[in-house]
Amino acid sequence: MSSATMTAPLGKAGADEGRIGLRANLRHIGALVRRNALQIKQDPESMFDVLLMPVIFILLFTYVFGGAIAGKDNQQEYIQRLVPGMMAMMGMNIAMAVGTGVNEDFRKGVMDRFRTMPIARSSVLIAKIVVEIGRMLVATAILLGMGFLLGLEIRGGILEFIGAIVLSTVFGAALMWIFILLGLAVKTPQAVQGMAMVVLMPLQFGSSIFAPPTSMPGWLEGFTKVNPVSNLADAARALVNGEGAVAHPTLVTLGWAVAITAVTMPLAVRKFRTKT
C-alpha cells in the first residue's frame, strides 16, 4: 500500500496522534487490517501454521498421551478434557506469530514507513492484533472440527460453548501485546521465536491442559495452580463440559487478560514510537 494511498484519506489532522479522533483512528485500523489481510492473500503459506498445527497437535496428544493418562478405554473422556484446554494453547501459539511479524516488518523498513505517516501509532499494532485474532479463530475452528470428528461433545449449553471460545480469544489477544513488545525489543525474528518458546513451554506443559495437576509433583502442582493458562483451560473445560467451577477460573483469566493488556500495550506503543 503506497504512502499516497494512506495519506490521502487520513489528512494533515492525523499528524499528532493525540489529536486523532476515534473515527479517524478506526479508519486507520481498517486500512491497515486490509493491508495485512492482503499480505496473507499474497503469501498463503503464512497460514500453514494455522491450518496444520491444530490437526497435528490434537492427533499427537490424543493418541500419544491419551492412552497413558486416561487409559485406552477412557479416550473419549480425555478428548473432553484435552480439546477445551488446547483452545488456550492455540491462542498462545498464534500470539507468538505477531511478535515475529512485527520484528520482520521493522527489518524490512515497513514500520519505519508507517511512523512517518499521519496515522495513530497504536493503530499499526492494533491492526496486527485484529488480523491475528482472525487467524486464531480459524485455528480454533479447525481444532474444534477435529475434536468433533474424534468424538468431542458439547455437554454444556451452546452459549457456554461460545463463551469458552470468546474467553480463549480474549486471553490470546492480551498475550499478543507481550509478543509485540518482544518483537520490538529484540533484533531478529529467530530471537523472538527462541525467547517466546522459553516462555510458552513452561506455561503450556506446566498447566492443566494435558494432565490433571494432582498427578504432578508437589512443586509443579503448585506452579500449575497459579499458572493463568491453567485457569483458562479449566474455565473452557467447565464451559464446554457443563461441569466444574466456572466463575472463579473465568474471572481469574479475565483479570490476567486485563492486567497484561494494561501493562504491555502502553509499553509496546511507546517502544514502537522510539525504536530505531
Roughly what angle, to the nearest 10 degrees, separates helices 158-185 and 228-241? 160
C-alpha cell at 231: 485457569
pLDDT at 10 (0 to 100): 36
pLDDT tens digits for 214-256? 888 888 888 998 899 999 999 999 999 988 889 999 999 999 9
pLDDT at 144 (0 to 100): 94
With 0.85 as the threshold, say if the pTM is over it. Answer: no
Residue 6 pLDDT greater than 70, yes or no:
no
pLDDT tens digits for 61-115? 888 877 666 666 677 788 998 999 898 888 888 888 888 888 888 887 777 777 7
Identify the residue whose cell numbers are 488446547: 86
pLDDT at 162 (0 to 100): 95
pLDDT at 232 (0 to 100): 94
C-alpha 192/C-alpha 175 separation (Å) is 14
The mean of the pLDDT values for the chain is 83
Residue 142 near residue 55, CB atoms below 8 Å: yes
pLDDT at 73 (0 to 100): 62
Count of beta carbons in the 10 Å neighbourhood of residue 121: 17
- CA of residue 239 relative to chain centroid, distance: 19
Residue 13 near residue 19, CB atoms below 8 Å: yes
C-alpha 200/C-alpha 33 separation (Å) is 27
Select, from the ranges 14-23, 29-38, 117-126, 261-270, the one with the highest average predicted confidence (pLDDT): 261-270
